[in-house]
Chain A
Amino acid sequence: MNLQSMRESSELLTRLSNTELEFFESVSRETHLANGQILFEEGGPADSFFIVSKGKIGLEMTSPGMAAMVIQTLGPGDLVGVSCFFPPHRWNWRARAMEDTDLIVFDAVEVRRMCDVNRDLALEVLGVVAEEVVRRLHGTRIQLLDLYRST
């Protein structure tokens, strides 16, 4: 599918050259989730990754006797499913649509295969993913500081 319109909102797509973008287009498709629908389950095989084009995805953890806890929400332009780039290629969290959501789905198996062959692409992709991971780590640490609590 054509990804040009998504380029502005996605860091990953912005960084790709036109040729690289063509490859990503060839391994992508659209999908739609209704409010509350599960995108992937914790522990499942991480064979895809996603970019939100509209709506909101919540990453959550479940535990016996406890309602699901959303620890992060991701919106338009955000990358969902960074675990697919790293062994053991399994989902660490459950992902669920918090509202009606449109996503671009990428075949992670094909992308990983291409990255094994094309090291420049691998560097590009993993570079963007690493930056995103650092950004989320930074944000999570701020959340951990619990800044808004009463002292």
Chain B
Amino acid sequence: MPSIASSLLSESTAEALLPSAFRVISRHSETPDTVTLGLESEDGKEVPFAPGQFMMFYVFGIGEVPISISSDPQSTGTLLHTVRSVGAVTKAVVDLQIGDRVGLRGPYGVGWPVAAAEGNDLLVAAGGIGLAPLRPVVFDVLARRDRFGAVSVIYGARSPADLLFVEELHTWRSRFDMEFEVTVDRSDETWHGDVGVVTGLLPRVSFDPTRTVAMLCGPEIMMKVVANEVTKRGVAPENIYVSVERNMKCAIGFCGHCQFGADFMCRNGPVLPYSRLGDRLRVPEL
């Protein structure tokens, strides 16, 4: 079982910066601008990872971009990456077809403290594409369900058309050993679910704040708002974890791009306890 510490496969930066060849073996359009790609190593190697870790994803001649792993940690042969087209590299990634070759290196980063959450209630709160790095947590937890207390997942999306992992959501919704609630910011004619901000789902799920570990991922404002609400309900800031995104070039703590205060998001993050960064999130442009 991989530890949550950064998994550095080599001694030198030159080796650490060298991607391995991977092939796209599956492609699923989640929404008009987001796809989930399945990738396998050309050398047949397995890539163990911890939920919340990311790979540096290289598209030939265009560049590299950090992308969270969104697959089940138990299946290390195929890696799933859920990618939204927001720039030159991610657009190229979203356009990839089955059979295309890419370069991957990693996994990097400190992931979600799933093992540390054992014996507690778990609250997972996702906003938009933030569900992608949290999905491995849900897989992980359900694989050893008896080790956790109440498990609740709340998910806010822009609209019904922007929901990710629709099949998965149906499965989660129908399980009796977890609570799953979803809401959208704006509705359409097909939607009979909740409409409103994701914090509105908190009263719908049950967790004991005195023994809850909360894992939040989504736009920074969303994470702040949910963290505040969850703190008001009595969850201690050191038990609230957020995933902070920053520009990354090397992913191994050298290039300096991902710094957020004293922390390098690629090495000390991207998952950080809220108690450690509360103040930093309030300073604009830090």
Contact = CB atoms under 8 A, between A and B. Distances in A.
Whether chain A touches chain B in the assembled complex (some CB pair under 8 Å): yes
Interface of A: 9, 56, 58, 67-73, 75-77, 98-99, 138-140, 142-143, 145-151
Given A56-B194, A58-B195, A147 B85 contact: no
Nearest to B190: A67
Contacts of B273: none
Interface in B185-242: 185-189, 191-197, 199-200, 203-204, 218-219, 221-222, 225
B128 interface: yes
Contacts of B246: none
B191 A150 contact: no
Given A75-B203, A142-B221, A143-B185, A150 B195 contact: no
B195 A70 contact: yes
A99 B185 CA distance: 19
A-B residue pairs, 8 tightest by C-beta = A148-B128, A139-B197, A148-B158, A147-B219, A70-B187, A143-B185, A67-B189, A73-B194
Contacts of B185: 143, 146-148
Interface residues of B, number: 33
Nearest to B183: A73
Contact of B186 (A67, A98, A143): A143
Interface of B: 33, 84-86, 127-129, 156-158, 162, 183, 185-189, 191-197, 199-200, 203-204, 218-219, 221-222, 225
Contact of A148 (B157, B189, B191, B195): B157
Contact of A71 (B86, B195, B218): B195
Chain A CB within 10 Å, residue with most, of B128, B156, B189, B195: B195
A145 B128 contact: no
Given A73-B196, A150-B86, A145 B157 contact: no
A77 B203 contact: yes
Nearest to A141: B197
Contacts of A99: 192
Given A67-B189, A69-B187, A70-B187, A150 B33 contact: yes
A149 B33 CA distance: 10
